[in-house]
Amino acid sequence: MSVHKQAKRITTQVLAEMKANGERIAMLTAYDYSMATIVDQAGVDIILVGDSASNVMAGHETTLPITLDHMIYHASSVVRAAKRALVVVDLPFGTYQGNSKEALKSAIRIMKESGAHAVKLEGGREVRESIERILSAGIPVMGHLGLTPQSIYKFGTYTVRAKEELEAQLLREDAKLLDDIGCFSIVFEKIPAGLAGEVSAAVNCPTIGIGAGGACDGQVLVLHDMLGITQEFSPRFLRRYLDMGDQMKEAIGHYVKDVRSRDFPNESEQY
Ligand code: KIV
């Protein structure tokens, strides 16, 4: 039987075994109890409480405004729902870049106050000390390379990263570094598929791609994007599995019509 089918609970060890066994890892975001319950029951291996909550939940233009308190609120709701999936929580902008002590303090708050299983943070060599200190406290860390949305004002655009050889080489080195120091997994966001495949084969830990092609060890999408709840965002890598936004608008429009016409509630829907 496959590793993921045998596992009652997904752990970082199970993910490593899945990579060794050539089994693909499915990861999705969730930010609340109801959605996370469905995602967990559908068999997703990793639920990411992403700082994309800043865009999706709060309507901000970037991921920068979301706070540690907000992330802990979202994460604790998701943890209550997840019976099988590993729950990974983003360290938000400004909570780990300053110094490694601050990074550890932020990671400990997430683990203690939400009950999550691991944290994710963006960057390579520049956050090495922070990652090492978090790992030394026994907290599993997922890395994130390529397009790192917390640095959007440095990049200036959300276009594909590491297309030029110089940046591709830096990414190879950063991935090797994160793998060597003990990250249990690395997200590659919006990088060329060939590069993602090459680096995935070169590192020991499982890689998870978003806009990074099919050769990563797993894939991640933002739940609200793949369900069609967020409608204004349609990059090439996004496969929409449902037009839920349209379906919801239709259902809600139907309800409004029924209220106005006094069709709702009917006799069997009252006391
Ligand atoms: O915040 C997020 O949702 C993410 C994924 C896009 C990987 O970091």
Q: Tell me what pLDDT residue 160 has.
A: 97
Q: Provide the token pair at 205.
A: 């830990």
Given ligand 1 and candidates 31, 220, 227, 229, which is best to mutate, with the most ligand atoms within 8 Å of its CB? Answer: 220
Burial class (CB in 10 A: 0-12, 13-18, 19+), 238: middle
Collapsing DSSP to helix, strand or coil, 178 comes out as helix
- At 191, give phi and psi (nearest 5°): -130, 160
Nearest atom in ligand 1 to the alpha carbon of residue 221 is 6
- Nearest CA, atom 4, ligand 1: 50
Q: Tell me what pLDDT residue 4 has.
A: 81
Could you tell me the distance, in angstroms and rounded to a whole number, from the CA of residue 72 to the centre of ligand 1?
Answer: 16
Average predicted confidence (pLDDT) for the chain: 97
Task: Inform me whether the pLDDT recorded for 232 exceeds 90.
Answer: no
- The one-letter code for the residue type at 235 is P
Q: Provide the 10 A C-beta neighbour count for residue 154.
A: 7
- Nearest CA, atom 5, ligand 1: 50
Could you tell me the distance, in angstroms and rounded to a whole number, from the CA of residue 93 to the centre of ligand 1?
Answer: 13
68-81 and 33-41 helices, crossing angle to 10°: 50
Is the pTM higher than 0.85? The answer reads yes
Nearest atom in ligand 1 to the alpha carbon of residue 29 is 3
Q: Provide the token pair at 153.
A: 């004002």
**pLDDT, tens digit, 9 for 90 and up, residues 137-188:** 999 999 999 999 999 999 999 999 999 999 999 999 999 999 999 999 999 9
Distance of CA 25 to the CA centre of its chain: 13
Task: Go through the domains of the chain in sequence order and give each one's CATH number.
Answer: 3-240 (3.20.20.60), 243-271 (no CATH)
Task: Inform me whether the pLDDT recorded for 197 exceeds 90.
Answer: yes
- How would you classify the pairing of strands 86-90 and 207-210? unpaired
**pLDDT, tens digit, 9 for 90 and up, residues 5-24:** 888 999 999 999 999 999 99
Collapsing DSSP to helix, strand or coil, 232 comes out as coil
Q: Provide the token pair at 209.
A: 């791609």
Could you tell me the distance, in angstroms and rounded to a whole number, from the CA of residue 63 to the centre of ligand 1?
Answer: 9
* Cβ within 8 Å of residue 252, ≥6 positions away: none
Q: Which helix (H) or strand (E) holds 185?
A: strand 185-189
Collapsing DSSP to helix, strand or coil, 187 comes out as strand
DSSP label at residue 207:
E
Nearest atom in ligand 1 to the alpha carbon of residue 122 is 8
Instruction: Report how far apart, in Å, the C-alpha atoms of 139 and of each of 134, 207, 271 are.
Output: 6, 18, 53
Q: Tell me what pLDDT residue 149 has.
A: 96
- 44, 27 contact by CB (below 8 A): yes
DSSP label at residue 31:
-
Stated length of the chain: 271
Could you tell me the distance, in angstroms and rounded to a whole number, from the CA of residue 270 to the centre of ligand 1?
Answer: 44
**pLDDT, tens digit, 9 for 90 and up, residues 29-56:** 999 999 999 999 999 999 999 999 999 9
- Known catalytic residue: 17? no
- Could you say which of 189, 250, 267, 269 is catalytic? 189
